[in-house]
Structure 1
Amino acid sequence: MPTASTDLAGAMAGAWNAGEPERVIALAAQATPAQASDESVLLLLGLAQQATARLAQAVATFRRLAQRRPDVSAYWNNLAVVSRQAGDLAGAEQALLTALTLAPDDAELHYNLGLLHTQQRRWLPARQALLDAAQLDPHFIEARLQAAYACYVCGDNTRQEAMLSGAGDWPAQPAEQALVLSAMLSVQGNLDAALRTLAHAQLPDGAAAGGMRLRIAAQRVLLYERNNRIDAAQDELRQLPLAALDALPPDEQQARADGWRAHAALAMRSGAHAEADALYQRVLACAIDDESRASAAFGLASARDRQGRHPEAWQALQQAHAIQLDTARNVVPELLATDSRPLQVAGGNVARGTCADWKPLSSPGSRQSPVFVVGFPRSGTTLLEQMLDAHQDFRSMDERAYVHDLIEGMELVGQQYPEDLASLTQQDADQLRSVYRRMVGEVLPDLGGRRLVDKNPLNMLCLPMIMRLFPHARIILCLRHPCDVLLSCSMQPFRSPAFMVLCSSLQRLAQGYAGAFEQWYRDVEACAPQVLEWRYESVVDQFDAQVARLGQFLDIADTSPMTRFAEHARRKRFISTPSYAQVTEGVHRKAVGRWQHYREQFEPVLPLLRPWLDRFGYEA
């Protein structure tokens, strides 16, 4: 025969299933002391309190329930969720850790822990918890999306791509998540999937839908601009009249800021730098997320630089880097130490002549090996990459960290890099090349017999690995005036937290530059690679002669397709590096000597750069 408690719980369950949380709470108020301690009554009451935003009461109810049944992980999870919603992050973490001791393989618990760490801006533990959730349940779409975003923030491109595998076919996402997902898909070069994600976004109810539509339109503008589809971006911008943005209510700051950023991006592309300047200032005045603010500050610096307002441009850069450092502090706090080395690759250098002592292994010939394009970032690597990619005999895979991944793979199995390169067996080397080719094949399934162009500037720090696997590879080192390189790095909104730290000051950048070239030349002396030094200024001044020199180095009979690289870049649309717009313009001198406008800021670091200025033959 049913008890009074079960009768009450049944009535409350009926009200809950009917979508009447207020009635659930009213029924619970009629409970006798015995009924009030019933598990089902407490659970339904807590859920109703949570649904009606009575968060403090819900916390108390779920705490009572968890204390009554401490062996039930779901009750600790309920307590954690409402505690997080109520702002008690420490209490939420404690409850989740308790739940995980009871159910360590529960994907939802790991997911909620990841969301908590995300709210705490503890990005590394957030990434791990969310990756754990996705591993436990590969079909848990929300976990994969949030894990991908945590990887995005941490600069973990490899795992981000893994989490987003097949994301173009995911079910429609709530609009806020759709914006995040589309941005990540675009970064991977998948514009079509990014646009589909936005097209299927589930809008919120009520008045909030209007602001979200504007945010989605702004995102489309930025996606098209980022893919060099300027006409499509202009068409989309017509859905975002400035008057409509100004008319938004005060609580729609993000929609207003997103719209202004879209207008500013196209103003920059059309040369309306003063207009872009004013728009970026308006964005920075909004209370919005750090990533949008940093992007606006970098845009403002660029707009002011183009107007010749160099001191004000430098001020905007300092603001941009300060915002980015806040992000980096939560991901790589150890790199903020003054003696940190953000560019340090695992392992050290090989000693002089070491490569000659390696046991000979069978390896691909020059034409079967990738062409490696290296150099300090912003030295003209993207320009060269697009020139090679324009030739029918070559294919570029955009910027990938696959050589770095191979080094990490060695260390994961207990091998030391670079010391254990000497003891690699033929099977080891073949397996590493197989892993490399498999990763390349996922990006370029139609490579066929064409020669791969592996352009990653910081592969200059991985020369021993390149030489062990591809000893006959042709390697091109891109050079440019060190001060122009450092200025260009300073003006880019890099996503990598390590690069955020590196570029936060000219002092750090100069130290990183010097350290990178010291390592490069030590490794060159040890490994004796086939290297062509490719100087940006010479390409600008003697384009045809330099193209002929490049063709001779790579055994290319007809170099004429490479001279049409700008046209090729416009057709290609997506280019992952910050130079995506510049390479569509062809070769020009606008970027040569640009650092002289900021000479006052460079004076303190010129002594650090002097050895490299002298070595490369540049004037200070």
Structure 2
Amino acid sequence: MPTDSQRIDHALALAAEGRADEADATLATLARQDQDPMAAWHLAWLRLRNGDADGALAILGEFDADPLCNERLREQLLGERRNAEAATVLKRVPRLPGDPRSLVAGAIERHLGGDFAGAAELCRQAIGLAPAHAPAHNHLGRALHNLGQTPAGLAEFERAVHADPRYPEAWHNLGHALRARGQLERACEAFEQALSISPGYRSARLNLGITRFALEQPDPALACFEALLERNRDDVDAMVNAGLCMQLVGDLAKARQRYERALQLAPENQSAWYYLGVLLNEQSEPSAAVQALQKALALRPDDADAWAELAGVHEMSSELALARDAVSSGLMHAPGHPLLNIEAAKLERRQGDLLGAETRLRRLDPARLPQRVRQQYFYELGTVLDRNNQNEAAYRAFEQGNALAAQSVRRRGIDGEAFFRGIDQISAWLDQGAPGMDTGLDDGDLGADLCFLVGFPRSGTTLLDTILDAHPGVRSIEEKPTLEPLIQTMGGLPGGYPAAIAGLDAGDRKALRRMYRMALSRHGGADSPLVLDKLPLRSIHSGLVQALFPKARLLFSLRHPCDVVMSNFMQQYAVNDAFVNFYTLADTVRAYDAVFGLWRKLEARLSLPIAYVRYENLVQSPQEEVAAACAFLGIAWDPAMLEADQRNRERGRIRTNSYQQVAEPIYRRAVGRWARYRDQLQPHLATLAPHAARWGYLLD
């Protein structure tokens, strides 16, 4: 009869041939029937290599009195941060004087008790006795890392994996140390090496995903977290991090589902509350965002990131006193925190302390900031410098902010040329006579209660919108997808959009109108005598408006082309097909030229009532300009519409980049600002000149 050693060799040969199930069964029989700890040890490794980490733990737990099995069980538990279980396992094996394994066991106990220096000393003694003992190097590395001696700890982890290349926990710890040193790609390689040895190593896969996310590689990061969720759908850490990946790429609905599910499972998960708060702020739900962030801070009052985000929520809602309180609280915990100082500078600027804001920002080193924070830094610095008339420095800051925005993860998923292709398609439809545009006069919903507020971003649409929305007879819908679902639907019809307009019959128009009204209702636009549907670049879709709602009106906001271009270049916009074309002056001018070139064609064919409101007149003679707009809309002029405090109090958060400007009394400082940047605009003036002349603006 073969000896146990021979039968173990036979099982290992089966495993080498790919017959893992047979090998597992053979080793399990040997381990349990013959009580052979060596068979159990080999079985644990077989299961680890096959991704069955729980199975490995189970068999090792049956033989935890054996020194070899105990060591492997202990390492696996520590590697998954199951420290309390590891501490219990340590007590199952007697300590022998002069034994490296016993010294390492003692070192681990000291480490778990917080005595990192004592742990390091015992590991050094073990290494003195057995220089190639990999666990001694690994646990010395852990102790040194916790003592703040990261380079020395990293060197010990490297010695550990050199001594035993099949040591997954040492590879995992090496990955941690490399990440702490900022060597993210090498850290990923170490985590991947750990997973190649033990594919079911949860902590290694989790940390690989976290590191991939830090490298702004959301797809491979998400794959790590989804793999963990396949093994355990209630893995809260994986769930939260998966949500973070989804949020990074802009899939906010799915990200929110992940955070909310994580909080159902773990209501005290501070990270989930924080990330949910960040997401709710991005979704323009400030009250809910504040509640989530306050819960995060109740769980961890020293979380500077959460204080910074809370300050940002309040600042974007123009609740400046609350924003200052949040900044002050955060700075008490972390005086040098970059985001808190950027928020503080923003508040100083809004209070008029431009020198204080610039001084605060200059204390930060942008080279040391994460990319997304660095991007915010340069936009705020540019804004402060622009207000201080430091034009060249401001322009350089905006250039740097835009360059970073152009490299963002969300930008990678956007085709900037799609915006221009859409304009070209509408232009071609107009050249063919705009078939179908004038067939909407039927007995259906003709949109007599609708006014579309359009123009170009940064032309004063938000200011005009907030003024008109203060009228009791007006309901404003601010930049919501009301018409866009119709455009998407028509894109799937024969010919696509806009050519499909030609084929619409009365039934099609009725269905599309109903779709629009349902969207209005979702966004609070039902049951109002006059709906002001505002989205500046919707001007390019005015032909569709006429085809469906021939009794609607257009209110078109105008501003000097150079001021418009310069202002858009200076904005930190959310990413979409249009806004990704504002990262350089050249692209911004191209977008402006395309939109107004198309508008000239549209205007010649439209029969909709159109009124133009000039930004310059609006800020210089607001009563006269607003009264004219009211007359066009058929509503009575109300002086309260010009009272900033009243209209902002009733309106709540402004959802556009103009939220800071419209919170102030109407001012004129932005009129003619472009002249300070004439040198930067000079190469583009020839393109803008025809548009300036068309609308009566000078370039002198």
Do the aligned partners of 1:280 and 1:297 also contact (CA within 8 Å) in 2? no
SS of corresponding position for 1:612: helix
Do the aligned partners of 2:277 and 2:293 also contact (CA within 8 Å) in 1? yes
Asked if 1:304 corresponds to 2:399, the answer is no
Do the aligned partners of 1:347 and 1:418 also contact (CA within 8 Å) in 2? no
Residue of structure 1 in register with 2:690 after alignment? 611
Q: Mean alpha-carbon deviation: is it higher for 577-586 or for 521-530? A: 521-530
Residue of structure 1 in register with 2:343 after alignment? 262
Structure 1 segment 561-600 matched on structure 2, within 5 A: 561-564=640-643, 566-600=645-679
Do the aligned partners of 1:264 and 1:275 also contact (CA within 8 Å) in 2? yes
Q: Could you tell me which of 82, 85, 90 is aligned with 1:20?
A: 85
Q: Mean alpha-carbon deviation: is it higher for 387-396 or for 110-119? A: 110-119
Shift in alpha-carbon separation, 1:372–1:155, aligned structure 2, 3 A: farther
Residue of structure 1 in register with 2:125 after alignment? none
Do the aligned partners of 1:173 and 1:202 also contact (CA within 8 Å) in 2? no
Residue of structure 1 in register with 2:425 after alignment? 348
Partners of 1:424 and 1:111 in 2: how far apart? Answer: 52
Partners of 2:601 and 2:262 in 1: how far apart? Answer: 43
SS of corresponding position for 1:345: helix
Do the aligned partners of 1:393 and 1:450 also contact (CA within 8 Å) in 2? yes
SS of corresponding position for 2:557: strand
Letter of the 1:585 counterpart: E
Do the aligned partners of 2:640 and 2:646 also contact (CA within 8 Å) in 1? no
Do the aligned partners of 1:374 and 1:459 also contact (CA within 8 Å) in 2? yes
Cα deviation, residue 24, structure 1: 6.5
Partners of 2:637 and 2:233 in 1: how far apart? Answer: 49
Residue of structure 1 in register with 2:290 after alignment? 195
Q: Could you tell me which of 395, 418, 421 is aligned with 2:498?
A: 418
Partners of 2:327 and 2:480 in 1: how far apart? Answer: 32
Q: Mean alpha-carbon deviation: is it higher for 487-496 or for 610-619? A: 487-496
Structure 1 segment 154-553 matched on structure 2, within 5 A: 154=249, 172=267, 174-201=269-296, 212-241=302-331, 245-246=334-335, 256-285=337-366, 287-327=368-408, 331-332=412-413, 335=416, 340=417, 344-345=421-422, 348-349=425-426, 350-352=429-431, 353-355=433-435, 359-360=439-440, 362-369=443-450, 371-411=451-491, 416-444=496-524, 447-496=526-575, 498=577, 501-553=580-632
Shift in alpha-carbon separation, 1:141–1:18, aligned structure 2, 3 A: closer
Shift in alpha-carbon separation, 1:428–1:3, aligned structure 2, 3 A: farther
Do the aligned partners of 1:168 and 1:193 also contact (CA within 8 Å) in 2? no
SS of corresponding position for 1:392: coil
Letter of the 1:200 counterpart: K
Letter of the 1:266 counterpart: L
Do the aligned partners of 2:244 and 2:255 also contact (CA within 8 Å) in 1? yes
Residue of structure 2 in register with 1:8 after alignment? 60
Do the aligned partners of 2:256 and 2:279 also contact (CA within 8 Å) in 1? no
Shift in alpha-carbon separation, 1:144–1:388, aligned structure 2, 3 A: farther
Shift in alpha-carbon separation, 1:358–1:373, aligned structure 2, 3 A: closer
Cα deviation, residue 506, structure 1: 1.1
After superposition, the CA RMSD in angstroms is 4.9
Cα deviation, residue 551, structure 1: 1.4
Partners of 1:166 and 1:449 in 2: how far apart? Answer: 37
Partners of 1:475 and 1:144 in 2: how far apart? Answer: 46
Cα displacement string for residues 74-112 of structure 1 (whole angstroms, at most 9, x for unaligned residues): xxxx9xx99x9985758989999xxx9xxxxxxxxx999
Cα deviation, residue 381, structure 1: 0.7
Shift in alpha-carbon separation, 1:347–1:595, aligned structure 2, 3 A: closer
The answer to which structure, 1 or 2, has the higher relative contact order (CA under 8 A, 6+ apart) is 1
Cα displacement string for residues 400-419 of structure 1 (whole angstroms, at most 9, x for unaligned residues): 23323432343357761111
Paired positions, count: 565
Do the aligned partners of 2:311 and 2:326 also contact (CA within 8 Å) in 1? yes
Cα deviation, residue 489, structure 1: 1.0
Do the aligned partners of 1:168 and 1:194 also contact (CA within 8 Å) in 2? no
Cα deviation, residue 169, structure 1: 8.5
Cα deviation, residue 287, structure 1: 2.3
Shift in alpha-carbon separation, 1:169–1:542, aligned structure 2, 3 A: farther
Cα deviation, residue 320, structure 1: 1.3
Shift in alpha-carbon separation, 1:130–1:556, aligned structure 2, 3 A: farther
Partners of 1:311 and 1:580 in 2: how far apart? Answer: 25
Partners of 1:376 and 1:608 in 2: how far apart? Answer: 16
Shift in alpha-carbon separation, 1:467–1:597, aligned structure 2, 3 A: same
SS of corresponding position for 1:454: strand
Q: Which runs of 5+ in 2 are unaligned?
A: 1-32, 41-57, 65-69, 94-99, 102-134, 146-155, 200-204
Letter of the 2:324 counterpart: Q
Do the aligned partners of 2:304 and 2:340 also contact (CA within 8 Å) in 1? yes
Cα displacement string for residues 377-406 of structure 1 (whole angstroms, at most 9, x for unaligned residues): 100010111012111122223222332343
Partners of 2:269 and 2:526 in 1: how far apart? Answer: 37
Letter of the 2:532 counterpart: V
Shift in alpha-carbon separation, 1:320–1:426, aligned structure 2, 3 A: same
Partners of 1:175 and 1:309 in 2: how far apart? Answer: 42
Do the aligned partners of 1:221 and 1:262 also contact (CA within 8 Å) in 2? yes
Query: What is the TM-score of this pair, normalised by structure 1?
Result: 0.75
Cα displacement string for residues 354-389 of structure 1 (whole angstroms, at most 9, x for unaligned residues): 2556654554234443x2111111000101110121
Cα displacement string for residues 508-529 of structure 1 (whole angstroms, at most 9, x for unaligned residues): 1111100111122323334433
Cα displacement string for residues 513-572 of structure 1 (whole angstroms, at most 9, x for unaligned residues): 001111223233344332211111122233222222211211113444433355211443
Do the aligned partners of 2:491 and 2:498 also contact (CA within 8 Å) in 1? no
Partners of 1:134 and 1:401 in 2: how far apart? Answer: 33
Partners of 1:89 and 1:238 in 2: how far apart? Answer: 37
Cα deviation, residue 119, structure 1: 4.6
Partners of 2:260 and 2:542 in 1: how far apart? Answer: 30
Letter of the 2:280 counterpart: L
Shift in alpha-carbon separation, 1:330–1:463, aligned structure 2, 3 A: closer
Partners of 2:249 and 2:264 in 1: how far apart? Answer: 25
Partners of 1:467 and 1:111 in 2: how far apart? Answer: 54
SS of corresponding position for 1:532: strand
Letter of the 1:351 counterpart: L
Identity %: 25
Query: What is the TM-score of this pair, normalised by structure 2?
Result: 0.67
Shift in alpha-carbon separation, 1:393–1:565, aligned structure 2, 3 A: farther
Cα deviation, residue 599, structure 1: 1.0
Letter of the 1:406 counterpart: L
